[in-house]
Chain A
Amino acid sequence: MDQTLLTGNVAAAWGARLAAVDYIPAFPITPQTEIIETLGAWVDTGEMPGRMVTLESEHSMLTAAGAAAATGVRVFSATSSQGLLHAMEMLYTVSGWRAPFVLVNVSRGLSAPITLEADHNDILAARDSGFLQIHCADCQEVLDGVLLAYRLAEDPGVRLPVLVNLDGFYLSFTREPVSLPDPAAVARFLPPFDPGNIRFAASAPESQAVAVLGGSPYSYFRYETHLAAQNALAVYDRVAGEFESLFGRQRQAVEAYRTGDADIVFYMMGSFATKAREAVDRLREAGQKVGLLRPRLLRPFPTDAIAAALDGVQGVAVIDQNLSMGQGGVLHTELAASLYGRPGAPAILTSFIGGLGGREITPEEFYQMVAVTREAVTAGKAPPPRLLYTEAELREIRKLQAVAQVEREETTPLRWSEDSNQGGAGHE
């Protein structure tokens, strides 16, 4: 057996090590810190060549990462949550530099209130930044995702930075069996970085990332970046094919699990999707035709692959581990937009918000989401979006509010939503 037990964080560090990165600008933040600690230890002992520098902020870390990539070395960095947002200006900036490198994000809910455990609002805030995004569901995918990300980023037809996302705690601190690929095979898959004309050198004066005045040249440069991101779809498919033939693991842009004959499909991303996979197996045992569709690649968005996998499916239960305030789930919105008007597209997309800040999603909740989606298919109408939140949780919040001495106007009745069909949601 060539597998070893690794946390998601250590798997990410192994990805960087196997990719033989030259440069690691770093900054600590929970739950990412183990990645840079692991890399730092390898660099210190000489087990891994390369240079690591701890900056004084993530904003600076991203600037240094982009600047080093723009000078022509292979760069790796990692962050999480508030750090990703602190660096947000530079995410948009360095992608415009068209300098390839890989940034791992360990997902963690955003402030306020500040918290530690995972959801996807951090990584989705970077959705439109020009970084491509690979989302991982287990520790093996983290390692594989980093290697794939370098091939994707450095492809001459792409040349964009790539974010590889793993969930805090559920992957970052969780050990699972991971195959460490043979370094020689990795070197065949991912040869040393050929920067081409990406450089700063005395013999080749170059001004990078210069200003433009006026919308027309701006439109050109920005849309070219978009076209490069779209180009990355075909590049990813090719690279994932090569990866599979070398390492034997399928890493398609979209994971379709038991969707072939499914009438109801879960649609979600990240490590909680393995819980959905488990639920699919249990539902199949109960005779229900249920599957799971999970985008690994969120940017570029694999519209055609998703539409093809959902062709003929009756209802999709979209589970968003994120929340766009005033709109709802981001995946739901994007899925609806990409399926609209396509013949054969599912008639019903139900929307569930769950797993915010690491909140569990239980097996029973997965089963119930299928039941709700089935009812919607029968009724021909999707119910309003639902937060996965139980009566017991609300009771617990009431207890906490009592401790916090939050004044409650006992005379003001709580405004329960009229279409609540759960009943039993008693007033305090």
Chain B
Amino acid sequence: MYRIRIHGRGGQGIKMASRILGTALFRSGFTVQDAPKYGAERRGAPIFSTVRAARATGPGQAINERGIIHRPDLVVVADDTLLAVPAAGTLLGIDSGSVVLVNSHEKAATWRERLNLDATLLILPAGEEVEDRAELPHVGATCAGAAACLLGVIEPEALAAAIAEELAGLGEPVVEKNRTRALAAFTAMMDQRGVVREGTAIAAEGFTPPSWIELPFEDASISAPDIRAAANSVQVRTGLWRTLRPVIDYDHCGKCWWVCSTFCPDSAILVENGLPVIDYDHCKGCMVCVGVCPPHAIAGIPEYLAQAQDALETETGESNGPDTADR
């Protein structure tokens, strides 16, 4: 059985990617189970979906395994910025037999070095870059196309038919664009076709017993679902959802902090010495501040570019924050 996990951000078509891959496998004679993992299914937030596919043994044969895939044969990462987000769990359960496909502008060697992985790491050359990665066009279909090639059991025709089936409701122009990208991605991976191997089930012989415990009784003062902290949600770094970063140009800032700071839905624009300061740990990148700023002093720039710039400035010791002490 193939066990596949696809990671991306809300809005990138990750559920659609698993459906395309699932349908393509189903059309190729496999019995299939695919599912999105819902939870924080918000735009920009890390999400994933799963596909299981087994060689069909007969009609009505369903896959008995269910739920999250703990030992994937193939992991597809549609957005390489997620690899640095531990909560995204992109690399969960990867071992030397796994294949990791990363949609990235960077080289495989770079990622291999950064991640220090035992697995086969491949790069799907990312298509044209866009401002807002939450709206990466066709990334779901592109990833599905590349994955289909790596599995080696899906013909391009089955992939094209699966895209037509899954995207039928969106109209033929959309189908055509997705099909073109997916088939191009399929072709781009041809030298690695069939690199993914079917994994095996966990054997009942010589298994590691679960470390069950007796759950201790605890008083309701401890065991009721109560939080005795105030506003500790600030520990959640929602800035990781951000695909666009608002940046204040302090040379043009009108110091009318009450505009941007009030309208920011996330209370993520602080006011320091009469100046607005964006809390990038929590800013989700909605761009409301960009729209309301009277002197148009806030610009939205792609987060991946901003991160690259950050890395550069860290090396050279510069800072792009406001020097509020001077103002």
Contacts and interface: CB of A to CB of B under 8 A. Distances in A.
A367 interface: yes
A389 B212 contact: yes
Contacts of A176: 32-33, 62-63
Contact of A174 (B33, B212, B232): B33
Interface in A362-385: 362-365, 367-368, 371
Interface in A103-140: 112-113, 116, 138-140
A277 B65 CA distance: 9
A247 to B, nearest CB: 10
B60 A140 contact: yes
A211 interface: no
Interface stretch (B34-42, B76-84, B101-109, B319-327): B34-42
B226 A173 contact: no
Interface stretch (B185-193, B217-225, B256-264): B217-225
Nearest to A355: B67
A16 to B, nearest CB: 21
Interface stretch (B115-123, B131-139, B198-206, B240-248): B198-206
A105 B228 CA distance: 35
Interface stretch (A63-71, A229-237, A268-276): A268-276
Contacts of B70: 362
With a 10 A CB-CB cut-off, give which of B31, B36, B61, B64 has the most chain A CB atoms: B64
B210 A390 contact: yes
A57 interface: no
A219 B20 CA distance: 57
Nearest to A273: B64
B173 interface: no
A394 B213 contact: yes
A220 interface: no
A324 interface: no
Interface in A215-247: none
B226 A282 contact: no
A289 interface: no
Given A138-B62, A285-B204, A406-B222, A425 B214 contact: yes
Interface residues of A, number: 63
Interface string A381-410: 000001111111010000001011111100
Nearest to B202: A363
Interface in A123-180: 138-140, 169-170, 173-177, 179
Interface of B: 19, 22-23, 26, 31-36, 38, 59-68, 70, 201-205, 207-218, 221-222, 225-229, 232, 235
B220 to A, nearest CB: 11
A390 B59 contact: no
A162 B116 CA distance: 55
Nearest to A361: B67
A427 B303 CA distance: 43
A266 to B, nearest CB: 12
Given A175-B35, A177-B32, 13 more contacts: A3-B59, A139-B62, A170-B67, A177-B31, A177-B60, A286-B204, A365-B212, A405-B229, A405-B232, A408-B222, A414-B216, A417-B216, A422-B213
B213 A390 contact: yes
A324 to B, nearest CB: 16
A283 B211 contact: no
B225 A403 contact: no
A420 B212 CA distance: 9
Nearest to B26: A5
A116 B68 CA distance: 16
Most buried by B among A3, A173, A177, A401: A177
Nearest to B68: A360
B216 A367 contact: no
10 contacts: A3-B59, A288-B204, A363-B201, A387-B215, A388-B212, A389-B213, A406-B221, A406-B222, A407-B221, A414-B216
B62 A274 contact: yes
A391 B208 CA distance: 14
A403 B36 CA distance: 29
A1 interface: yes
A168 B316 CA distance: 52
A424 interface: yes
Contact of B214 (A173, A278, A416): A416
Contact of A405 (B22, B65, B205, B227): B227
Contacts of A139: 62
Contact of B212 (A140, A288, A390): A390
